[in-house]
Structure 1
Amino acid sequence: MKYFFSFFVGLLLPLLAQAHVGSSGVVFEGVAGKYPVQVFVQPPDVIPGTAKVTVLVGMGRVEHISLKPIYFSAGDEGSPQADPALPVGSEPGQFEGSVWFMETGSASVQVTIEGSLGKGIVVVPIVAVSTATREMPAVTGWVLVGLGVLLVGLMTTIFGASLSDSLLMPGQADTKTSRRRRVTGSVLGATFCFGILFIGNNWWKARADQYRDFLYKPYQATSSVTTQAGQPVLTLRIDSTSQHRRSLSYLVPDHGKLMHLFLVRQGSMDAFAHLHPNRLDSLTFQAALPDLPAGKYLLYADMVRYQGFSYTVTDTLDIPALPRSTSKTLTADPEDTYAVTSSVTTQQPLPGDRAITVCGKPGVKTKLQDGSTIVWEAQPNQTFQTGKVYSLNFSILTPDGKPAVLQPYLGMMGHAAVFKNDGQVYIHLHPTGTFSSASQQILENRIAETERKARNPSSPQVFRDSVDQVLAKLATLPEAARDAALMPGMKHEGHTNHLSIPYAFPQSGAYRIWVQVKRENRVLTGVFDAKVL
């Protein structure tokens, strides 16, 4: 038990869910050794493929930057050599490079910086999966057809000549027999060529079918709302046929939770919940439902498996109009939160509810549920560009206008959930970026090993029971001790009121951003709208 506890506490570092919907770019913001850096990785959507990596170094003279792809399955010893990242002439401190990913799986880009401040290394986890197919351009197809016809013609001519002209003596006239042999040779040549084309076409189709079989397939799930002794309960059940050799018995905790489940009301985007369901069995999760208004909700549930591979399960959930429950048959997780704000579609007065928060915009200060305020430090009505990394900066002030002292919430100083208003983009963010810190630590530990082949975990039942024991142990710890376990090495007695979260919006459109911080033992939720061009 002691071994499993120490092992899994290591995995409970804050997880910046690489799980996402429609937002594939991975951003890291922090330090590599003594160098303050920002790394932006754009993974390929087809494997094999290349990832584009941009590195911004904020201090020190850089002499060399190298980029190395490392898989969990192969470790450092089984990975290829590093490639250099080259300086971008017009941008001081900016470097760019690319790395090849040849196989699917949990992977990372190891960034090594050498210069006046010594050597610094950071590992940025990514998920290397094929999510797209490529259609051959029509022009290329016609060019290949033309070349194919030319080659078939040449081959039939060569076959025909080899059985006729090559057998004639110098100066001998063409005969009826040689002409017949030429036709026979041409027919044999054409038959051979078309046989080769037939075999090649079947091979190509088999490879294409195999590629489609290995395209990333998300878990499928169904969600429902029932009542237990008058208390509304949300149940999420994952379809066992969608596991595809990805057993959910091998889940590891993220911020001390096996699942982070987000709800946002579809269309109006005016009601939000951040829940942490309990695991009933390897496929079924259940949570007490807060007092959300009735409607159809978009559901996003984040999970992480032991190799550092993160997943998002999606569904839609119909929540009926239910009377406010006083029953506590199922105890809600103490970190569960919800909030209600104005609709993105209509201007309606906000109902009286303790979870009400006013929606803000860049550069506008808005009130939180306890009377404190939050401001998005940006130009008023600022618009954002797709594919560009922004630092989303927020400041929180007490009701009397002084800088607020923030507390860790789920082991981090802040969380953000970003939704595109049409539901096509979702991501769960934290101050160090868009990736999983648990994945980062898992891959760092794997890199430190010398084995080329990753060790398999224990049996599903043993692994699952061990995780459940660690979670039960964490639940008994005082809040300060739990925060120390989730964020080892960080001082927890007082923090700045400033929160900075890096992100690159992947698509143009309207977005709603829900920002969560903790103050005076209460989780506060701010909400902002953003326009992306």
Structure 2
Amino acid sequence: MKFFKYLFLFLSFPIITHAHVGSSGVVYEGKAGKYPVQVFVQPPDVIPGTAQVTVMVGQGTVESIQLKPIYFSAGDEGSPQADPALPVSGEPGQFQGSVWFMETGSASVQVTIKGSLGTGTVVIPMVAVSTATRQMPEITGWVLVGLGVLLIGLLITIFGASVSDGLMKPGQADTAQTRRKRVTGSIVGATFCFGLIFIGNNWWKDRANEYKDYLYKPYRATSSVHQKEGQSVLTLQIDSNSVQQRSLSYLVPDHGKLMHLFLVRQGTMDAFAHLHPNRLDSLTFQAPLPDLPPGKYLLYADMVRYHGFSYTVTDTLEIPALPKTQTKTLKSDPEDTFAVTSSVTKTQPLLGDQNITICGKPGVKTKLQDGSTIVWEAQPNQTFQSGKVYSLNFSVIDPNGKPAALQPYLGMMGHAAVFKNDGQVYIHLHPTGTFSSASQQILENRITETRRLATNPAPPKVFRDSVDQVIQMLAQLPEAARDHLLMPNMDMASMGGMEHGQENKNNHLSIPYAFPQSGDYRIWIQVKRNNKVLTGVFDASVK
């Protein structure tokens, strides 16, 4: 009975929040009621702290926008009141506001819009964690030191005067006894003041150490490649000292997979793989390797816990040359994919492959493995601005030049993995943005609950075993049935983005993203047609 309870939980409300490295902003593109919106949330890197929220409304007259922080742990009942987002001068349809996050944990920003199209609400999942410490400006420190010295001097003087001058009658002359009392009182006052400073300093150190203990610490892991049954196998072992093993028993499927693992060859960025390792135990994951060329690879592995908190494990991995007699007897995940293309070190970037016009806009294109073409609606050699939200629009054209209908791939109409060429930025993206629409469903469901305290839904072993059964069941389903379960409420028409035309939506994919840093990036875009996963690649320059 418990199994079916958890089965319903995972298939109806899968918790999916996508992890990242070096890309803290959360972007959503879709609808809030009848309002087409694009929301960009910049979470604070220090908790308590404020998240900056920008809302772009594409249609209708807006009367008010309210922003409310809601924690998964506390629900709507235990969350603070909403704050307004105000219009941005000179930017029609754009609103900005901020919301306070006082505690760490899985959270969301609820955006409520009221206007000519009625009331619309959307929930933007995010993770509120402290990732940095703040240093006091030097000038502020010196000002505070000066004020502190002045305050201590005044307090010592008050102590001394209270037992000497304060007890003298008007016109009474100062005596040796009065001076001794003044000195004694000043010493007592100084002792009291410095005692307070000592106690306060220790209290501050304890709070600072406590804050450091709560700083977000990514899981550590060790990856390796070994031969098993004549085939190269990747093993990822999570360090038990960096995580409570019990907590990893509460992993949940993300698009039907417990782990999404990405490999990209370091330096050249020319070899890419998207794998879904099997869980051997709470800390160990394993997957057969595809035919990747040898070299040193950057590894990024995404996992999600049941309350929506996402983790990315990073490592570097040396992949040796494949054995000539590799037999491939081990069965890999059917959705595992890989691609090899040209190096980023070449003088001719992939972005300049070929110019094209799509939907009346200029674009560039890259050939896919089945002879079709994926087109990115971007200016050739376009330079992007860091911190600005862009709708990355892609269209797929078949070998005959006609729109190519796309199939769902892992519950979405497309996936993208974005890497900065130096490996300092990685993120896994989808058409709704930096998270899945299914995570909205689970957080919206949590908001409707009246209980203020979230609890673990089952003992660790029961939970883990139930999840494993769900994943096995999903793997045995026909592809169409599995896609239906993974994307039950997906609005196909919403995949086109805010600015794209209505035509040929079935071959179009729009993914919003804000590049966080300047530098050169490589974008791997994955779509599915004719039951085959296809991988395209583009380069982007960000200033």
Match of 1:511 in 2: 521
Bigger shift: residues 4-13 or 102-111: 4-13
Shift of 1:360: 4.6
CA distance 1:431–1:324, shift in 2 (3 Å)? farther
Shift of 1:387: 0.4
Match of 2:112 in 1: 112
CA distance 1:348–1:233, shift in 2 (3 Å)? farther
Match of 1:354 in 2: none
**Is this contact kept in 2: 1:361–1:529, CA < 8 A?**
no
Task: State the distance in 1 between where 2:327 and 2:369 align.
Answer: 24
Root-mean-square deviation (CA), in Å? 1.9
Match of 1:525 in 2: 535
Amino acid at match of 1:517: V
Any idea what the Cα deviations from partners look like across 1:259-296, whole Å, max 9, x if unmatched?
00000001111100000000000110000100101111
Task: State the distance in 2 between where 1:518 and 1:358 align.
Answer: 21
Bigger shift: residues 70-79 or 157-166: 157-166
**Is this contact kept in 1: 2:352–2:380, CA < 8 A?**
no
Match of 1:276 in 2: 276
Match of 1:10 among 12, 20, 24: 12
**Is this contact kept in 2: 1:55–1:95, CA < 8 A?**
yes
**Is this contact kept in 2: 1:364–1:376, CA < 8 A?**
yes
Match of 2:54 in 1: 54
Match of 2:500 in 1: none
Shift of 1:491: 7.9
Matched, 1:160 2:160: yes
Task: State the distance in 1 between where 2:105 and 2:386 align.
Answer: 27
Matched, 1:481 2:491: no
Instruction: Structure 2: give runs of 5+ residues left out of the alignment.
Output: 356-362, 494-503
Q: Counterparts of 1:29-178 in structure 2 under 5 Å?
A: 29-178=29-178
Instruction: Structure 1: give runs of 5+ residues left out of the alignment.
Output: 350-356
Task: State the distance in 2 between where 1:499 and 1:201 align.
Answer: 56
Amino acid at match of 2:540: A
Shift of 1:441: 2.2
Shift of 1:311: 0.8
Shift of 1:329: 3.6
Bigger shift: residues 327-336 or 127-136: 327-336
Q: Counterparts of 1:295-334 in structure 2 under 5 Å?
A: 295-324=295-324, 326-334=326-334
**Is this contact kept in 1: 2:260–2:303, CA < 8 A?**
yes
Q: Give the total of aligned pairs.
A: 524
Amino acid at match of 1:522: K
**Is this contact kept in 2: 1:308–1:438, CA < 8 A?**
no
**Is this contact kept in 1: 2:377–2:394, CA < 8 A?**
yes
Task: State the distance in 2 between where 1:10 and 1:532 align.
Answer: 39
CA distance 1:359–1:408, shift in 2 (3 Å)? farther
Any idea what the Cα deviations from partners look like across 1:137-181, whole Å, max 9, x if unmatched?
000100011011101111111111111112222211111111111
Amino acid at match of 2:73: S
Match of 2:240 in 1: 240
Matched, 1:197 2:197: yes
Match of 2:508 among 493, 498, 506: 498
Task: State the distance in 2 between where 1:348 and 1:233 align.
Answer: 34
Any idea what the Cα deviations from partners look like across 1:40-96, whole Å, max 9, x if unmatched?
100000000000111111111111111110001100011111111111131111111
**Is this contact kept in 1: 2:492–2:506, CA < 8 A?**
no
Task: State the distance in 1 between where 2:399 and 2:473 align.
Answer: 37
Shift of 1:11: 3.6
Shift of 1:439: 3.0
**Is this contact kept in 2: 1:342–1:348, CA < 8 A?**
no
Task: State the distance in 1 between where 2:14 and 2:453 align.
Answer: 24
Task: State the distance in 1 between where 2:297 and 2:338 align.
Answer: 13
**Is this contact kept in 2: 1:360–1:529, CA < 8 A?**
no
Match of 1:353 in 2: none
Any idea what the Cα deviations from partners look like across 1:382-438, whole Å, max 9, x if unmatched?
000000000011111111111111111111111000000000000000111012434
**Is this contact kept in 1: 2:85–2:97, CA < 8 A?**
yes
Q: Alignment identity in percent?
A: 78
**Is this contact kept in 2: 1:360–1:528, CA < 8 A?**
no
CA distance 1:246–1:34, shift in 2 (3 Å)? farther
Q: Which SS does the other structure have where 2:297 is aligned?
A: strand
Task: State the distance in 1 between where 2:10 and 2:244 align.
Answer: 25
Task: State the distance in 2 between where 1:113 and 1:245 align.
Answer: 42
Task: State the distance in 2 between where 1:44 and 1:490 align.
Answer: 30
Any idea what the Cα deviations from partners look like across 1:16-40, whole Å, max 9, x if unmatched?
x431000000000001111111111
Task: State the distance in 2 between where 1:417 and 1:518 align.
Answer: 15
Amino acid at match of 1:463: F
Amino acid at match of 2:320: P
CA distance 1:335–1:325, shift in 2 (3 Å)? farther
Task: State the distance in 2 between where 1:430 and 1:361 align.
Answer: 25
Q: Which SS does the other structure have where 2:249 is aligned?
A: helix
Task: State the distance in 2 between where 1:240 and 1:470 align.
Answer: 25
Match of 2:424 in 1: 424
